[in-house]
Amino acid sequence: MSSDSKYNSVTENMNKLNSSCNCFTNKKVLPKGLHRFEDPAHALKSQQLMNVLKEVVENGVPYLGTSAGSNIGGLNMQNTNDMPIVYPPSFNTLELIPFNINAHYLDPAPNSKHNGETRETRIKEFHVFNKVPVLGLREGSWIRVKGDRVTTEGMFSSRVFLPELPPYEIQPGSVCAFETRQNPL
């Protein structure tokens, strides 16, 4: 199947799954967060589109994911902010970048009376069982992939979480090469 045929197949099937997605316009992939764990990851898995989408993007179709749409660009969906209301056949995603994204990352409010967990706490809990690096991506920030180079962009710093290491900040324009700093199992 040609790249155009694969793109058209993914476009047609994703638009059937969720007409509000507008995922595909002018040979670009634009998946958005849809406030439900099942979309877009579950939808892509249930229609066997995850690998096709990955191939389409790796063959040069630009990909701009927002919210859950950015999460599926990482290695897996195991550290999202959403409750898993459906169980996908696999938590693996597109693996377009060598780490996971925690979209909408918020810092703990210093004077908050909230006794629940923070994003940082949840990511540290994720690292008890997983060695995948996580990038806490604040609102107004994004990552750019050009060839093998992955950088942070936008107005705010991003927070890097690696297993067994304290989190740290990287500034916009930084190369995301932190996966090489992770502690091997």
Instruction: Tell me which residue of 176, 24, 184, 156 sits closest to 100, measured CA to CA.
Output: 176
How much is the pLDDT for 181?
45
Identify the DSSP state of 175: B
Calpha distance 120→122 (Å, rounded): 5
Verify whether residue 127 is a known catalytic residue.
no
pLDDT along the chain (185 residues), means of 10: 61 54 55 53 71 83 77 79 67 88 86 80 91 93 90 94 94 82 39
The catalytic residue among 82, 127, 141, 158 is: 82
The catalytic residue among 67, 70, 141, 158 is: 67
pTM greater than 0.85 (yes/no): no
**HEC profile for 47-110?**
CCCHHHHHHHHHCCCCECCCCHHHHCCCCECCCCCCCCCCCCCCCECCCCCCCEEEECCCCCCC
Verify whether residue 35 is a known catalytic residue.
no
Residue with tokens 């690998």: 51
How much is the pLDDT for 66?
75
Verify whether residue 19 is a known catalytic residue.
no
Calpha distance 21→149 (Å, rounded): 28
How much is the pLDDT for 71?
79
The catalytic residue among 3, 9, 46, 104 is: 104
**Is residue 111 helix, strand or coil?**
coil
Q: Does CATH place domain 3-180 in 3.30.360.10?
A: no
